[in-house]
Structure formats: C-alpha cells, structure tokens
A and B are shown apart, each in its own frame.
Chain A
Amino acid sequence: MYGEAMADVQTDAEHEVLIEATPEEIWEALTSDDGLDDWLGEGTEVDPVPGGEIATPDVVTDRPRRGHVDEVDPARRFAFTWWPEDDHQDRSQVTITLVPTRAGTLVRVVERSIVGVPAAIGRMATAGSTTPAPAFVDWAWRASLVGVRASGSVAAR
C-alpha cells in the first residue's frame, strides 16, 4: 500500500551544535534580554512565558520576525512559533532542546513549517501515527523518489 510507511515522518529543518557549557549557562544566553540581543539581534524582545510575544530583527536573515512562545522548560526546552513580519502566513514552529553530555551541551534546533496546512490535513496525514505533526513533507521520502540520499541534521563543529 502506497503511503502508509511515510505517515509518521515529516520534514523538519534540523541543526545541532555542541557547546562547551552547562545547559544552565546556555539557557541564560538563549533567553535573557542580553543573550537574545546577541544571538537574534539588538532590540529582540521575548516574553519567556507560554503565549509570550516575540519580536526580533533576526540579524542572521535581516528580516524582522514576530512570534509567540509555546513552551518554556528552563535549561531543557524552549519552543516557539514565528513568522517574518512581512509574511504572517509563513509560520513555522521552532523547538530548541538542550541535552547535557560529557563534552558539553548539545543544542538541537528543529524548525517545522506549518504554512498553509489546515489542521484537517495534519490530522489526516498523521492518522495512525504517534507523531502529532501539523504539517510535513517527508524528506527521506522525497529523497527516495529522486534517488538521492537526504541530508538531515547538519553536524556542527
């Protein structure tokens, strides 16, 4: 049967990096006003509570973004939904998790597009799956179609 095997996977942009610091130190840099200014850009405002608003110049793309906080679990997990200020439809969910290891803390980011996908499609697409994915395209599946190996997360450092 076509389709069933791919029902529990989704397209996530992933990136992870090992930082030589404790999860607490990274959390401070990740969520404090001062830290946010450093990594997201001067003037970034994040109210770090569920539902809290996000407004940032996002220096990396130089395209200001807005959003709201979804989950705050200090030193473990920070999740939010955001979109470019000039394109409110282009929403995606970001989950940043901190995992302590011997060498430092593994910082893992997953960004998933939730663009233009009605909840109904998400439910249909994930029926029978344990993954509550509101939107996805299966990257591995796409790769199998075109016969190339997918590159998933990018190992850093």
Chain B
Amino acid sequence: MNDVFAVLGDPTRRSILERLSGDGPATATLLADEIGISRQAVAKHLNLLADVGLAVSERRGRETVFRAELGALDAVGSWLDRVQGEWKLRLDRLARRVESG
C-alpha cells in the first residue's frame, strides 16, 4: 500500500492510470502519443504502475497492452478508513475526559 502512495505521487502516472481506466487498455506507444511524452518514459511509468498492481500487461498478438487494475486502490481506501476509525476512538477518549472533568 505504501508503494501505491509513492507511485501515485506522480501526476504523469496518475494521467496514465486515468487514461487506462477511462478509455480502456492501450499500448505504451499509443499512450505516449496521447500524453505527449516518449514511449520510453511511458514504459517506465507503466512498469512502476505494474509493480504495485495498478496496471496489468497482456500480450495481444505482437503487441503488449496495459489495462488499469484498480483493486490496489482499495488499500488506499482501507488506510483512510482505518486511520479515521482510530482517530474517532482517540477523540472519543479526549471528549470523555473533557466533558467529565
């Protein structure tokens, strides 16, 4: 999950993920054209996205296409839910102390 945060810290990678999620699978070459950066740069970003499970590559004939895999983002949601829950409990304790005193 920590890595997901780091990987999504980059706006280009978020662009790529958003593109794959919104318009479906694409090759690195197509993404490079659409986003306006080199194919090599796109490939590097795709590898990072794939490393944390946010993108998956598939062979289609001679091409490798990438699709978004958003399940990894659930970990981010889980982190938020967990931390928010912890603070609810801590602030409840704080409130009890203040209101009883």
- CB B87 to nearest CB in A, in angstroms, measures 4
Q: Check A115–B5 contact: CB distance below 8 A.
A: yes
Q: Which residues on the B side are within 8 Å of A2 (C-beta)?
A: 14-16, 18-19, 35
Q: Which residues on the A side are within 8 Å of B94 (C-beta)?
A: 19, 26, 29-30, 35, 38-39, 107
Q: Check A15–B97 contact: CB distance below 8 A.
A: no
Interface on chain A toward B: helix, strand, loop, or mixed SS? mixed
Q: Give the interface size bracket for A toward B.
A: 35 or more
CA of A13 to CA of B86 in the docked complex: distance in angstroms?
10
Interface residues of A (CB under 8 A from B): 1-4, 6-7, 11, 13-17, 19-21, 25-26, 29-30, 35, 38-40, 60-61, 89-90, 92, 107, 109, 111, 113, 115-118, 121-122, 124-125, 135-139, 141-142, 145-146, 153-154, 156-157
Interface residues of B (CB under 8 A from A): 2-6, 8-12, 14-19, 21-22, 35, 68, 70, 73, 76-77, 79-80, 83-84, 86-99, 101
- What would 13 more interface pairs be, CB under 8 Å, given A124-B10, A142-B70? A11-B76, A13-B79, A17-B95, A19-B91, A19-B95, A19-B98, A19-B99, A39-B90, A125-B10, A135-B6, A139-B77, A141-B14, A145-B22
